[in-house]
Amino acid sequence: MREWFFSGASGAFLLSTFHVLYGEGSVRYMAIGLYVLLISMDWLAGHRASRIDGSYASEYGIRGGYRAVFLLGMPAIGHLVDQISGTPGIAFGFLTAAFGLHIWKSMTANVIRAGWEKWVPKWAMVYVADEVEHKIARAIKRKQEKEKYLDGDKNVHSDNRYVFDEQNGTTRD
């Protein structure tokens, strides 16, 4: 009985928080669900890519947590704008779609960097080419800084079977 009370209370709290932040309705549930899934997949692919190319740094991951909180706050701001202006979800939809597109580009670029490009359609690769170049340049810079200031992490590649090729931005065995 006690477990039911706590699960019911936590569920009521989470649902109320969701309604305050994002509004009510099945479309909003699905939109935020897709949005959170994109953020999670971006984080997963980015983590794997940074492990492969040796640019992983915990402080960069912490900054990614702040980025995720910011990204989750943008649809909430859109909902608040809609509430203030009396519009039926226009700002919520616009901000969710705009930031969702950016997250999708980042996720797709990270998937390519992680060596999973065989599952990415050619048109998507062309569309995110600039994002891939930007991420590769940033990874190379982080790797150089890591080697310069921390003398590198000698155990980074011990469990990885892929090696990142910096010249063409792909992974190889």
In whole angstroms, what is the distance from residue 125 CA to residue 128 CA?
5
Tens of pLDDT, residue by residue over 29-88, are: 999 999 999 999 999 999 998 888 887 777 777 888 899 999 999 999 999 999 999 999
- Taking the complete model, does pTM exceed 0.85, yes or no? no
How far lies 117's CA from each of 35, 37, 152, 172, in Å? 22, 19, 27, 12
pLDDT recorded at residue 159: 46
pLDDT recorded at residue 161: 46
Tens of pLDDT, residue by residue over 124-162, are: 999 999 999 998 888 888 888 777 776 654 444 444 444
Please determine, for residue 169, whether its predicted confidence score (pLDDT) is greater than 80.
no
8 Å CB contact between 105 and 127: yes
How many other CB atoms sit within 10 Å of the CB of residue 64? 16
pLDDT recorded at residue 156: 47
